[in-house]
A and B are shown apart, each in its own frame.
Chain A
Amino acid sequence: MWSFKLEAKNSLRTKKFWLTIVLISLVYVIAFREIKDNLKATTNLQGVLTFSLIGYILASAFLFIGLYVLILGATSINGDLENGTVQISLSKPVNRIQYLIGKFLGQFVSIIVALLFATLLSLVITRYYSISITVKIISDLTIANALTLLSMLQLLALGLLISTFIRSQNTAISVVLILFLVTGLVAPQIVDSMAKDRAREEFHIKTPEDAMKMPVEERNKYHQRQIELQKEYHLRYLFYIPQVLLEDIVIDMQRTTFIKGKIRTEYIRAWDAIKNNPLRVSLLVGLTLVYLIMAVFRFVRMDLR
């Protein structure tokens, strides 16, 4: 597809992309130190390492790749209108749907490169701590990356949709920054505190001291219920935020059980975590398609001037 080739070249050359790569590298500088501490406190080296690395891929994705992707999408059509390249492209024998899908897939290439870079850094860390790179680690990282990619695609499609509504790139960037702040920080905080309130209500906890006074078994049950409610509320109120859906799937990779007052953390395979969350995975895929179809629908009816 003609516009795919053009966009892939374009997105890999932007300053936004290279800034994202630098920021991901910084996240992994922090990761080096923190993973060292995590490994000291465990005997399940591979499990902890895999989970920590996936955590860092997600952190990179949420903090930087996500913002990069949203901005990339939100400034694509309006950007092309501002610099006149959309008129040049569509004056050639290229139809609008091909153009938009090609652009989407071209931008997708830069996300893959950013994620591969994050994965490569993860593997470097694995080797640094002399932990052998097993098939399990590779497959778990690949699956986690694929999931991250799905959530990033959703953000890209949303950005693309925004770019068909907002004509100015600068306004689109402002909207996206606000959106990122609200959906990445404010909304999850509010929803999580709602879940905590509900858990307190169920366990008749009025003050923090009440929780401390509870027997260990009961307290563990309370914490577990809090996590359950958070996930439930995420699905109910934050189903449109891909980062939240992804986080809930990944959290399932770490299964914490409380047996006779002792906490036991078990790491399950990434594929099993996906199988446990079919609705969340469907939402990741489904909403991406919805946004993309809406963007196409809007773009094919837009006056391009």
Chain B
Amino acid sequence: MLRIENLIKIYKDIRALDGLNLEVKEGQIYGFLGPNGAGKTTTILSILGMIFPQKGRIEVLGEEVFNGKFDEEKLIKVKYMIGYMPEDATLWDFLTPMQTLDIIGEAFKMSKAERQKRSEELLKLVGLWDVKDKKVGKLSKGMRQRLLLAQALINDPELLILDEPMSGLDPKGIAEFKELIRQFNKEGKTVFFSSHILAHVEEICDTVGVIVKGKLRAQDSLDNIKKEFLRRAGHTILIETNKPIHIDLEGVKVEVIGTNKYRIITSKDVREELHDLIAVQNAKILTMQIKEPSLEEIFLKMIE
């Protein structure tokens, strides 16, 4: 559905994209996570041909739109099948939601009747039917975000690209938004959306890509990312004993964090060996706790 290979974009002396590789498969909800300034928007705008990367390859919906330079014809062709919702755009204040969708529909060469029908459907779907004749400039931030989503859906796209779609929304708005994305995905459509907030992608994404300083740090399901993180970073075991002990196990890092309190970092589960070792030293374990990192911690660790 979407494949990016070795994409490089340099702004003056900043490497915004530093050999980015990623792949989004058909029917996925792909969460593109990364801190501010990691290169998320640059990636999205490159896919849409609005930013000119220096190197790399971009394939969208089976068409190679960029390979060192953009293929304008292919780009226009795939844009008929893409929906894009930018971060924090204002739309045209002087138009009403109905007029906005109508004029966007015109860009896709939809007939008047098609535009009318689709606009009605979408305004009802995003809950803007009651304000369809109100000027966009007078709508609330949440309403405008929903209209931005509606305009991205006007052409019933195969691939929906959303750039920080939930920024500025209240919790209720976020929940509604997530539900809309799920509904869209149920129809077999692919969603690619960026966020710098893990909670926004956690519940709905089946695959996550983490971008840091223009490079993809990880790309997998959240469960697999967590497992991989644990494999690399190791388990953390906190123990407290009744007297001082000496731990000497292969591949185990020990930190003393208090009186008879130890933090053990290990790449495998060493609880049994620990029991034996402590018993040999005639000591007793008072408490033992395996500490698993939260996704938030994994994410923060990754972007460090």
Contacts and interface: CB of A to CB of B under 8 A. Distances in A.
Contacts of A2: 103, 106-107
A84 B88 contact: yes
Contacts, number: 74
Contact of B51 (A9, A84, A85, A303): A303
A27 B219 CA distance: 66
A102 B86 CA distance: 22
A92 B50 contact: no
Given A303-B51, A303-B52, A87 B107 contact: no
Nearest to A6: B103
Interface residues of B, number: 33
B80 A93 contact: yes
B76 A93 contact: yes
A94 interface: yes
Interface stretch (B90-98, B196-204, B209-217, B227-235): B90-98
A127 to B, nearest CB: 35
Interface string B64-88: 0000000010001101101010111
Nearest to A304: B50
A93 B108 contact: yes
Interface residues of A, number: 22
Contacts of A305: 41-42, 45, 50-51
Contact of A88 (B52, B86, B106, B109): B86
B205 interface: no
B89 interface: yes
A273 to B, nearest CB: 40
B165 interface: no
A298 interface: no
Contacts of A83: 89-90
Nearest to A92: B107
B155 to A, nearest CB: 8
A83 B94 CA distance: 13
Given A91-B82, A93-B76, A305-B45, A9 B94 contact: yes
A15 to B, nearest CB: 11
Nearest to B103: A6
Interface in A1-54: 2, 5-6, 9-10, 13
A303 B9 CA distance: 11
B151 interface: yes
Interface of B: 11, 41-42, 45, 48-52, 72, 76-77, 79-80, 82, 84, 86-92, 94-95, 103-104, 106-109, 148, 151
22 contacts: A2-B106, A2-B107, A5-B103, A5-B106, A10-B94, A83-B90, A87-B84, A87-B89, A90-B48, A91-B82, A91-B86, A92-B79, A92-B104, A92-B108, A93-B76, A93-B79, A93-B109, A95-B76, A304-B50, A305-B41, A305-B42, A305-B51
